[in-house]
């Protein structure tokens, strides 16, 4: 008669009842309030056998549901043979405890369900560490509450609880062990992240980087693959992607950017869960520009965009230029009339979000426009210019060759007029935009653009870094008008 001990928050292939309490101001979909939870439960491997909804102004404290609804839920669970109840809302440990007592089956909340999916998907060490930390912080207190309630914790001895967590590791329930484990995990994660931050910074210094972000299942990986032939895992599942992928995306001529694909966002994720996935978003946070991908065939897309904006704000990615990408437009004409009518039309989108681009990541519609827009962001006013660079600035030459189309090269030791007085410089004729020139400045290496110093008047040569007497006469300093073209 004892219920299954809540020894793990893992979802098996088990019959589940979904419960949603629609509190005032919540962002649930009104036409299909449990649609997203259903997709989450199925992604986790559950089989949905029943659903229950309640509208309330304020959820009731102890059981979250009203008394009558709890009884209804318990009866439903019994009748349908469910072994799992999943709430769309966030529950406290004591609410979970009370609900498990009443229904005699395992009760999970939405965040636990998401974490269980994450645990299944985590393949990189970083993702595994993040998931385990989040589980220890979020799930463990909920497990412990149940264990002590069931009186199965004997004499304060630590109880190992298996979850389907990374590496099938045991989550230690004992508070002391939990915090010791957290310290160790955080230390390891920090090491991984320091390395990662360095890589991200290096990528950023050498390339223009573009991050793909968006709600889960919006089509980010499909777009990434379509643009780069990059082999990211795309699937009609929530959180198909957990680790970041980076690939080169050629946007015309020799211009290429580094594109990154990353984990999707979802509404109402508790803040510390978002925080533990912050590093996964590192590439996006530090990208020079963002593509926000939205599933325009989903009537929840306005809410999804709102969520994406909030998360970006939370993780501090709010300054870089961004392009709103309305995806899955190929689906829209095929939708039944009433479903189409419930959508915000592309015209309405573009009116509200000037510059939004309609695409289909599946068939490539809109890719050319997207490319052109990103090229404009990257380069801004591309023209043919002559750059004179000391040969000692190998890194600068390298970066220019990577980012721009080089038309010709002349070295100082070749017999030519332009650089004959400067034996240690190279003259490159390149197609380069104003913004690309700006991005070269932080490298701190001196160079001339069409004979002028590209540095703004106040900042002398890369913040006082190396000067090149070959390139710049003191008299010229401060005389440049900064040559910005159109």
Ligand X SMILES: Nc1nc2c(ncn2[C@@H]2O[C@H](COP(=O)(O)OP(=O)(O)OP(=O)(O)O)[C@@H](O)[C@H]2O)c(=O)[nH]1
Residues that bind ligand X (CB under 6 A): 214, 216-222, 234-241, 264, 327-328, 330-331, 360-362
The structure tokens 């508070």 sit at: 175
Give strand pairing partners of 425. 390
CB of 237 to ligand X, least distance (A): 6
Nearer to Mg ion, 149 or 220 (CB): 220
Tokens of 338: 């009433």
Nearer to Mg ion, 241 or 393 (CB): 241
Nearer to ligand X, 235 or 372 (CB): 235
* Partner that binds at residue 204, options Mg ion, ligand X, none, CB closer than 5 to 8 Å by kind: none
* Partner that binds at residue 327, options ligand X, Mg ion, none, CB closer than 5 to 8 Å by kind: ligand X
* Partner that binds at residue 361, options Mg ion, ligand X, none, CB closer than 5 to 8 Å by kind: ligand X
* Partner that binds at residue 238, options Mg ion, ligand X, none, CB closer than 5 to 8 Å by kind: ligand X
Give strand pairing partners of 86. 18, 108
Q: By the criterion CB under 5 A, which residues form the site for Mg ion?
A: 220-221, 240-241
H or E stretch covering 170: strand 170-172
Sign of CA dihedral 55, 60, 63, 68: negative
Nearer to ligand X, 63 or 327 (CB): 327
CB of 217 to ligand X, least distance (A): 5
CB of 226 to ligand X, least distance (A): 8
CB of 337 to ligand X, least distance (A): 19
CB of 228 to ligand X, least distance (A): 13
**Residue nearest to ligand X as judged by C-beta position:** 264
Q: Is 169 exposed, middle or buried (0-12, 13-18, 19+ CB in 10 A)?
A: middle
Mind giving me the DSSP string for 178-216? HHHHHHHHHHHHHHHHHHHHHHHHHHHHHS-EEEEEEBT
CB of 219 to Mg ion, least distance (A): 8
**Residue nearest to Mg ion as judged by C-beta position:** 241
* Partner that binds at residue 222, options Mg ion, ligand X, none, CB closer than 5 to 8 Å by kind: ligand X
Q: What is the DSSP letter of 334?
A: G
Nearer to ligand X, 182 or 243 (CB): 243
Tokens of 331: 């689906």
CB of 308 to Mg ion, least distance (A): 14
* Partner that binds at residue 207, options ligand X, Mg ion, none, CB closer than 5 to 8 Å by kind: none
CB of 281 to ligand X, least distance (A): 12
Residue 326: which of 345, 313, 303 has the closest Cα? 345
* Partner that binds at residue 103, options Mg ion, ligand X, none, CB closer than 5 to 8 Å by kind: none
Q: Are 270 and 90 in contact (CB under 8 A)?
A: yes
Residue 483: which of 375, 353, 381 has the closest Cα? 381
Alpha helices in 344-423 (DSSP H): 346-352, 367-379, 394-403
Nearer to ligand X, 111 or 241 (CB): 241
* Partner that binds at residue 430, options Mg ion, ligand X, none, CB closer than 5 to 8 Å by kind: none
Tell me how far apart the alpha carbons of residues 436 and 462 are, in angstroms, rounded to a whole number. Answer: 15
Nearer to ligand X, 193 or 262 (CB): 262
Nearer to ligand X, 103 or 360 (CB): 360
Residue 263: which of 134, 90, 168 has the closest Cα? 134
Q: Are 32 and 44 in contact (CB under 8 A)?
A: no
Residue 318: which of 297, 351, 283, 289 has the closest Cα? 289
């Amino acid at each position: 008669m004892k219920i299954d001990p809540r020894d793990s928050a893992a979802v098996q292939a088990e019959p589940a009842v979904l419960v949603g309490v629609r509190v005032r101001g919540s962002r649930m979909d009104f036409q299909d309030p449990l649609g997203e939870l259903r997709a989450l439960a199925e992604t986790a491997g559950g089989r949905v056998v029943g659903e229950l909804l309640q509208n309330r102004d304020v959820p009731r404290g102890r059981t979250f549901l009203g008394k009558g609804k709890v009884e209804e839920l318990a009866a439903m669970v019994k009748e349908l043979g469910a072994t799992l109840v999943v709430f769309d809302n966030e529950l406290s440990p004591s609410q979970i405890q009370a609900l498990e007592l009443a229904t005699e089956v395992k009760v999970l909340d939405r965040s636990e369900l998401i974490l269980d999916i994450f645990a299944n998907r985590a393949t990189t060490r970083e993702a595994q560490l993040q998931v385990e930390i989040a589980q220890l912080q979020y799930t463990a207190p909920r497990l412990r509450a149940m264990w002590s309630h069931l009186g199965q914790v004997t004499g304060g001895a630590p109880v190992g609880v298996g979850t389907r967590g990374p590496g099938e590791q045991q989550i230690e329930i004992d508070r002391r062990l939990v915090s010791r484990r957290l310290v160790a995990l955080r230390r390891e994660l920090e090491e991984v992240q320091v390395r990662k931050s360095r890589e991200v910074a290096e990528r950023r210094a050498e390339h223009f980087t573009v991050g793909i972000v968006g709600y889960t299942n919006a089509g980010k990986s499909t777009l990434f693959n379509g643009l780069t032939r990059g082999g990211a895992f795309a699937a009609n599942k929530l959180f198909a992607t957990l680790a970041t992928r980076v690939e080169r995306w050629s946007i015309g001529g020799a211009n290429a950017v580094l594109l990154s694909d990353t984990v999707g966002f979802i509404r109402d994720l508790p803040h510390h869960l978002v925080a533990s996935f912050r590093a996964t978003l590192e590439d996006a946070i530090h990208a020079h520009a963002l593509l926000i991908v939205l599933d325009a065939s989903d009537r929840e897309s306005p809410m999804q965009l709102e969520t994406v904006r909030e998360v970006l704000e939370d993780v501090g990615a709010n300054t870089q230029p961004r392009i709103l990408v309305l995806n899955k437009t190929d689906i829209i004409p095929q939708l039944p009339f009433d479903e189409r009518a419930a959508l915000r039309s592309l015209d309405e989108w573009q009116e509200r979000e000037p510059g939004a681009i309609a695409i289909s990541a599946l068939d490539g519609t809109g890719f050319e426009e997207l490319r052109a827009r990103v090229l404009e962001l990257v380069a801004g006013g591309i023209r043919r210019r002559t750059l004179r660079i000391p040969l000692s600035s190998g890194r600068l030459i390298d970066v220019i060759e990577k980012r721009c189309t080089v038309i010709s090269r002349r070295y100082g030791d070749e017999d030519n007029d332009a650089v004959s007085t400067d034996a240690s410089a190279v003259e490159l004729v390149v197609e380069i935009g104003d913004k690309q020139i700006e991005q070269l400045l932080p490298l701190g290496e001196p160079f001339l653009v069409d004979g002028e110093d590209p540095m703004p008047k106040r900042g002398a040569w890369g913040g006082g870094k190396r000067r090149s007497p070959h390139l710049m006469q003191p008299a010229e300093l401060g005389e440049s008008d900064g040559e910005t073209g159109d």
